[in-house]
Amino acid sequence: MANATAMIAVAMCVLLAMAAAPVAATRPVVLWHGMGDSCCNPLSMGAIKREIQKTLPNTYVHSVEVGDNPINDELHSFIGNVNSQIDEVCKQLQNDSNLADGFNAVGFSQGGQFLRAYVQRCNNPPVHNLITFGGQHMGVAAMPHCLPGMNKTLCDLMAQLLAMGAYSPLVRDVSVQAQYYRSSMDFQKYLSDNIFLPDINNEKDEKNSTYVENLTSLNKLVLIMFANDTMVVPRESSHFAAYAVGSLTEVVPLQEQQLYTEDWLGLKELDTSGRIDMLECPGDHMQISMQYFHDEVILPYLNN
């Protein structure tokens, strides 16, 4: 009887200690919003942050802010030099001590390719899993339209700038969207005059081996395409597919592109080692249910 009582007492002590112990935090998460959004919108990035921390208590979440306040952050999602913005975010993340040991990253819309650029150009601290929702990895072949709730003045300004010519020196350095506009009908001009996308896709003659080294260091690259995306043209750009040169109808899948077969970015290496997951989210651009985000992103890719 005495032995049984002692064992029960020990078991109760163990259970009480377990209950009192703090819940172990998972790897931190960095978010980068899309066009017309901001770091701290309670209905978008704020809601995503709350869902992550509800599911994974004690997880540190950093939402990227370009500029010194949310208003400027929203402005910079339309206006600015993306290369300079990437440089700013590299410093921002490096200076955050909570991220020192690395993090998982989730990019929404254009934030997807911007976080990929972070990985390729900086990756200090390193990204473990990179998840992109509706990213324009192979650019867009049509002007993005504005979603309900976006700033109409900024949307109209974007449209006016792109109408002047995406590769015009007056436009390409200030219009964020022009910097990932990829014309399949004027491909050589895209290669020569676009100041951002051809570089991070290693499409220029001189290849950057650091981009390959950094991208292939990922544990997982998760590419999520919206099934009925009307914003990203072609929507398969979210899976690294693109219009064939000279066509506005024929979509060439990633595995059939020179970028893949010659492995300019390391995507073939990631793919053949089982480290690229291509998923599909129901609905139009950025129509993400919290249930989908919980089941398809938080649990499989952020819970580590």
Query: Would you please indicate which residues are annotated as catalytic (active-site) residues?
Result: 109, 229, 285
Q: Point out which residues pair with 175 in neighbouring strands.
A: 79
CA distance 243 to 190: 13
Nearby residues of 242 by Cβ (< 8 Å), 6 or more positions away: 138, 139, 182, 184, 234, 236, 251, 252, 257
Contact criterion met (CB below 8 Å) for 73 and 38? yes
Cβ neighbour number for residue 152 with a 10 Å cutoff: 10
Question: Which distant-in-sequence residues (6+ apart) come within 8 Å of 136 by Cβ?
Answer: 109, 110, 112, 113, 180, 232, 237, 238
Q: Which residue has the tokens 């997807």?
A: 112
Six-digit token string for 27? 């790897």
Q: Taking Cα atoms as reference points, which of 145, 139, 156 lies closest to residue 79?
A: 156
What number of other Cβ atoms are within 10 A of residue 234's Cβ?
24
What type of residue sits at position 202?
N
First to last CA, the chain: 44
CA distance 126 to 6: 49
